[in-house]
Amino acid sequence: MSDKFGLSGDAKAKLLARLSNRAPAQQEERARVKPSLGRPEVVADLNMVKRAGEALAIRNPYFRPHEGVAGAHTVIDGKSYDNFVSYNYLGLNGDPRVNQAAKDAIDLYGTSVSASRIVSGERPIHRAFEQALAEVYETEDAIVLVSGHATNVTVIGHLVGRDDLILHDSLSHNSIVQGALASGAQRIAFPHNDMNELERLLGASRDKAARALIVVEGHYSMDGDVPDLPRLVAIAKAYGAHLMVDEAHSLGVLGQRGHGIAERAGVDPGDVDIWMGTLSKTLSGCGGYIAASAELIDYLKNSAPGFVYSVGLPPPVAAAALASLEIMRAEPGRVTKLQANAKHFLDAARSRGLDTGPSIGAAIVPIMTGSSIVAARAADRLFDLGINVQPIIYPAVPEQAARLRFFLSSLHEVEQLERVAAAVARVLAEVRAERIDLGALANRLAAE
């Protein structure tokens, strides 16, 4: 039967399909099937780890809620643990003076600045904090942003572009890699801490690039080792490259006063073009900063998308971070204690035959297991013994680099470190002695 336009229902559907260039069946199909989001290879990896954990009866070590401030001890599900999973390096998170500063800032400004700083989000506490950071790094100025991760992404992504070259350490944090990808610059990851290879790669590519940016970390968060800063400065100078150092795990940790890798290495901070850091570790807050020349900071303040188009740092966070920085400077004994604790734990582990990788024992000590299953099982057993340590397993690191990673704090006590090192050695020996039927595990994973 024809409708009033002279076409039957069927003919009209066909015409519509033809006009939209699609067969009716296909159109229906597209309307019904919505592929799940998430990259298939990532989903597969996550599922594999989850099923392996279940097959081996290992509890999920992720997203465990801590019920108070996580320091040398923490409470999870009502039980107290020796805690080694938090980068509360100088024990300032939860310090009554830091808490009070945050509370006072809330009373004065509220919990948000309700705008990007460039428009109407500026508060005096922002500049006070930035000036204090610039003093520590002996730079002309500094800028603070609301996320450490986003600081690397937006700053690296915004400073260099298609005609430029970024060389970063192969163990660089994800935020550095994301920033490099966002920039569109040619990106080369040089082998970890291999200065000869960096120089060779830079020499081979420098002439083809308008500008070159070398990005490294002052203290590597997985291995607890440090780069050769004097050599990096020399290489950057020789090739007319800019040098950026991520101090996320260096501030409060390295150098006599905790001023970072420059202080430890005896390098003039002015020889590094861009100092980057985070508020989430020593500074007991959340956010990121860049300390650099006034010209560079002015450029970022007026044009970096993650700053211009993002809200200003919340007042209580700025106040807590500033108070932490002030306490760090007034009480250098905290830095000394952290370094002594980390060294003590490193020695205690090594003397028991444990492999601590390349750690210098400043705050981060990995205990290499060489197997994700051994790392996960050992962390699970240690949890039962009241010791909280994170297993770092595939795919976060290559399988042979699986480990238990210990974050040390100035709050830990020597007795605790000795007891925990002994427990780790005992548990690892037990776990290694157990047979793991990898064939059966693989079959089970494949069958599911």
Q: Catalog residues that contact ligand PMP under the rule CB under 6 A.
A: 147-149, 152, 173, 175, 217, 221, 246, 248, 278, 280
Closer to ligand PMP by CB, 139 or 280: give it. Answer: 280
In 185-246 the beta strands, taken as DSSP E runs, fall at: 186-190, 212-217, 242-246
Nearest residue to ligand PMP by CB is: 148
Q: How far is the CB of 442 from ligand PMP (least distance, A)?
A: 33
> Which of helix, strand or coil describes residue 93?
coil
Q: Which amino acid is at 104?
A: D
CA atoms of 50 and 74, how far apart (whole Å): 25
Residue among 248 and 328 whose Cβ is closer to ligand PMP: 248
Q: What is the rounded (10 degree) CA torsion for 201, 225, 389, 146?
A: -70
Tell me the CA distances in angstroms from 23 to 7, 10, 31, 174, 399, one per residue in order: 18, 13, 13, 44, 48
Residue 180: CB minimum distance to ligand PMP, A: 13
What is the phi-psi region of residue 63: left when phi exceeds 0, alpha when psi lies from -120 to 50, beta otherwise? left
Q: Residues of 254-264 as b/e, b for ≥16 C-beta within 10 angstroms?
A: bbeebbbbbbb
The active-site residue out of 126, 149, 168, 249 is 249
Phi, psi of 39 (to 5 degrees): -75, 130
Closest CA to 65 of 80, 77, 52, 50: 77
**Residue 183 appears among annotated catalytic residues:** no
CB of 173 to ligand PMP, least distance (A): 4
| Residue 147 or 416 with smaller CB distance to ligand PMP | 147
281 is catalytic: yes
Measured CA to CA, the distance from residue 428 to residue 12 in angstroms comes to 72
* Cβ distance to ligand PMP smaller for residue 199 or 247: 247
- H or E stretch at 429: helix 414-433
Residue 221 CB, nearest approach to ligand PMP (Å): 4
If the CB atoms of residues 243 and 423 are measured against ligand PMP, the closer one turns out to be 243
Supply the minimum distance, in Å, between the C-beta of residue 152 and ligand PMP.
6
Q: Return the SS3 of 362.
A: coil
Catalytic residue among 86, 172, 221, 371: 221
Residue 208 is among the residues annotated as catalytic for this protein: no
Residue with smaller CB distance to ligand PMP, 88 or 280 = 280
- C-beta separation of 182 from 153 below 8 A: yes
User: Is 215 or 319 the residue whose CB approaches ligand PMP more closely?
Assistant: 215
**Best CA proximity match to 192, nearest among 164, 223, 166, 213:** 223
For the CB of residue 235, give the shortest distance to ligand PMP in the complex, in Å: 21
What's the rounded Cα separation, in Å, for the pair 391 and 61? 8
Q: What count of other Cβ atoms lies within 10 Å of the Cβ of residue 445?
A: 14
Q: Could you say which of 219, 281, 337, 344 is catalytic?
A: 281
Nearer to ligand PMP, 181 or 425 (CB): 181
> How near is the Cβ of 187 to ligand PMP at its closest, in Å?
17
Closest CA to 338 of 441, 246, 417: 417
CB of 69 to ligand PMP, least distance (A): 18
Phi, psi of 161 (to 5 degrees): -145, -165
Beta-sheet pairing, 212-217 with 242-246:
parallel
Residues with a known catalytic role: 221, 249, 281
